[in-house]
Amino acid sequence: MTVNVFLKLVEIQTKIASLFPFLLGALFSLTYFKTFNITNTLLFFIAMLLFDMTTTAINNLMDYQKAKDETYKNEVNIIGQQNIAEKTVIQLIIVMLSIASLLGLWLVFQTTILLLFMGGTCFIVGIFYTFGPVPISRMPLGEILSGLVMGFGIFFITIYVNVEAETLLNLTFEGTSFLLTGDYLSIIKIAFVSLPTVFLIANIMLANNICDLNQDIDNHRFTLPFYIGKKYAVLLFNALTYASYIVIILAVILKLMHPLLLLIVMTLIPLKNNLQQFNQQQIKEETFFIAIKNITIFSGAEILLLAFSLLFVD
């Protein structure tokens, strides 16, 4: 297997969806909590990237094995298209998952046992997203879970590995007793600030499912657009995009973010044009990329503005 085929198998171009909540989490830790642990951050980044690639490889393998449409199986899916041996894909999955797991355990020792439960939850959702008799991706839950696990989960864990344990959540043991303590207000603030990324990552899955609606039905995949209809799925795609701006404005008003973040409204013009293009037609090869383009423009601007706001942090 060549490097180019491997990168296609793990769909490296989609890893940007993981990169944005990671960078935003690191910057929010610096701007709001005023703390940063470079070792933990790098460890988590590598583990996160490896696991993201693992879930994508599992996704492609499961889609290949469960495909009812022979044209999709042999000409569209990367495994059939490149004639990759299933054994090779399985070996890659095991290697990537093992390394990601070991790095995750190392981080647990660096932080607290609670990270094991957080990471474990993300692992379970990621693996069973396409694995098992009734995978999540074949139900109307994909958008919700992908948005929460990646948009909030990655964002929260990035902050968690940077701050002191007692800042957010901590678990202590004494004899046969244990005590879970935490700051629920800080957790609510983090959850709120993560919402734009949650919405825009959910939109990537939503756009993919809208474009693949007919193909998914042929392959017995009944996603959210199947249940609510293409018209309302497109309306939801638009609503989640505009809601992202509302969250940032409220975050500034609530003093969770620097007023500089209000400049993000300048991205509204290109995103509005992108939405109009997507509203006209939903074709995988022509308009799916708009969801990627939107998160790149919006989250990219948010990252730059957060980074620039560091100049004004006391």
Can you give the pLDDT of all 314 residues of the chain as single tens digits? Answer: 788 888 888 888 778 888 999 999 999 999 999 999 999 999 999 999 998 899 888 888 877 777 777 777 777 778 888 788 888 889 999 999 999 999 999 999 988 889 999 988 888 887 777 666 666 767 787 788 888 988 999 999 999 999 987 788 888 888 888 888 889 999 999 999 999 999 999 999 899 888 887 777 777 777 888 888 889 999 999 999 999 999 999 999 999 999 999 999 999 999 999 999 999 988 877 888 899 999 999 999 999 999 999 988 66
The pLDDT of residue 132: 63
With contact defined as beta carbons under 8 Å apart, do 87 and 119 qualify?
no
The secondary element (H helix, E strand) that includes residue 170 is strand 169-174
With contact defined as beta carbons under 8 Å apart, do 135 and 128 qualify?
yes
Q: Is there a domain that residue 194 lies in?
A: yes
CA distance 182 to 171: 9
Q: Is there a domain that residue 133 lies in?
A: yes
Q: What is the number of domains present in the chain?
A: 1
- Token pair in block for residue 157: 């864990």
Cα–chain center distance at 58: 16
Residue-range definition of the domain harbouring residue 40: 7-312
CA distance 314 to 311: 8
The pLDDT of residue 130: 67
Q: Is there a domain that residue 1 lies in?
A: no
CA distance 314 to 308: 13
- State the alpha helices, DSSP H only, in 111-229: 114-127, 142-146, 155-160, 165-168, 184-211, 213-218, 224-228
The pLDDT of residue 192: 97
Whole-prediction pTM: 0.88
CA 252, 250, 36: angle at the middle one, nearest 5? Answer: 50
Q: Is there a domain that residue 119 lies in?
A: yes
Buried b (16+ CB within 10 A) or exposed e, 224-259: bbbeeeeeebbebbbebbeebbebbeebbeeebbbe
